[in-house]
């Protein structure tokens, strides 16, 4: 049984002026995501600025999200680390807080071998009972999970069920699925590649775009699943300029600016992230208007 199919939002973490978590706005964002048709929530991921949350904040945000969602859709928590023991601790603590699954990023900076990746992910997954999704994002972590390693993990470790593929390498993703033998739940990690990855057997997307366009992102996936590939393709292509604008600076700077423009949060980041360049902000606002969400 897959953790989810369709569009999961990689949800932002809103902050107050004093840089503490704005739980009131966070609750509102969660509710709007659920009412907008989002199929799952991925909390404390890259888009949630987990890298600058303390351990306590990280776990408090997870717990709050689980309680707010109250079982209506799956909640998947980012709990990975570049330190295996840290990943085990955060994953077991997230499990205690009632998450439906975990998202495990590749260990950044260490740049371990494929053998090291296997041992790292297996150790974390073996410490919990909930399903785990690998997160391959080499542009951020400096290490790529080879297709053979993805398939080996999904085949040999019972609760590693799939991968969020954000390498952008369609050939690599196709190879994963050619080796998968039905063992790998594949999710797009890039909003501009939802339909291409669905066409390779993907189950959905873990999406930045869903923060500002939950209904549309869900419908891209649902149209494909319903057999209306032409509609899914049309919606994917229509979203491309906005997707590009949402990544014109490093994520989550643009999406947080977009959410601020929509009145969903304040444009507050934790350093070293900072406000967008004016030219990029104007481009983002333009594409939001063109897409019809502003």
What residues act catalytically? 135, 164
| Beta-bridge partners for 105 | 135
278 contacts: CB under 8 Å, gap ≥ 6: none
Among left, alpha and beta (phi > 0; psi -120 to 50; other), residue 281 is alpha
d(CA 214, CA 176): 28
| Beta-bridge partners for 9 | 41, 207
Quick one: how far is CA 36 from the chain centroid? Answer: 17
270 contacts: CB under 8 Å, gap ≥ 6: 15, 19, 49, 52
DSSP output for 114-126 = HHHHHHHHHHHHH
Which residue is listed with tokens 């790529």?
144
Tokens of 186: 């594949």
């Amino acid at each position: 049984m897959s953790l989810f199919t369709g569009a999961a939002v990689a949800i932002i973490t809103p902050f107050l002026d004093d840089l503490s978590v704005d739980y009131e706005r966070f609750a509102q964002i969660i509710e709007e995501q659920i009412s907008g048709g989002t199929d799952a929530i991925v909390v404390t991921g890259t888009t949630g600025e987990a890298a600058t949350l303390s351990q306590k904040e990280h776990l408090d945000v997870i717990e709050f999200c689980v309680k707010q969602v109250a079982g209506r859709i799956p909640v998947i928590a980012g709990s990975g680390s570049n330190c295996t023991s840290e990943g085990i601790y955060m994953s077991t603590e997230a499990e205690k807080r009632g998450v439906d699954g975990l998202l495990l990023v590749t260990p950044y900076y260490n740049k371990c071998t494929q053998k090291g990746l296997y041992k790292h992910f297996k150790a974390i997954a073996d410490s919990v009972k909930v399903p785990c999704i690998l997160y391959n994002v080499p542009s951020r972590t400096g290490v790529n999970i080879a297709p053979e390693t993805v398939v080996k993990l999904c085949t040999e470790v019972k609760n590693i069920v799939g991968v969020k593929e954000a390498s952008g390498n369609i050939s690599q993703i196709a190879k994963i699925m050619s080796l998968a033998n039905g063992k790998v739940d594949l999710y797009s990690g890039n909003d501009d590649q939802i339909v291409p990855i669905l066409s390779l057997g993907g189950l959905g997307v873990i999406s930045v775009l869903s923060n500002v366009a939950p209904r549309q992102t869900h419908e891209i996936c649902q149209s494909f699943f319903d057999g209306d590939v032409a509609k899914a393709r049309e919606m994917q292509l229509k979203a491309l300029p906005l997707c590009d604008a949402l990544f014109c600076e490093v994520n989550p700077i643009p999406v947080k600016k977009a959410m601020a423009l929509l009145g969903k949060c304040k444009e507050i980041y934790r350093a070293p992230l900072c406000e967008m360049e004016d030219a990029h902000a104007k481009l983002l606002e333009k594409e939001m208007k063109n897409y019809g969400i502003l």
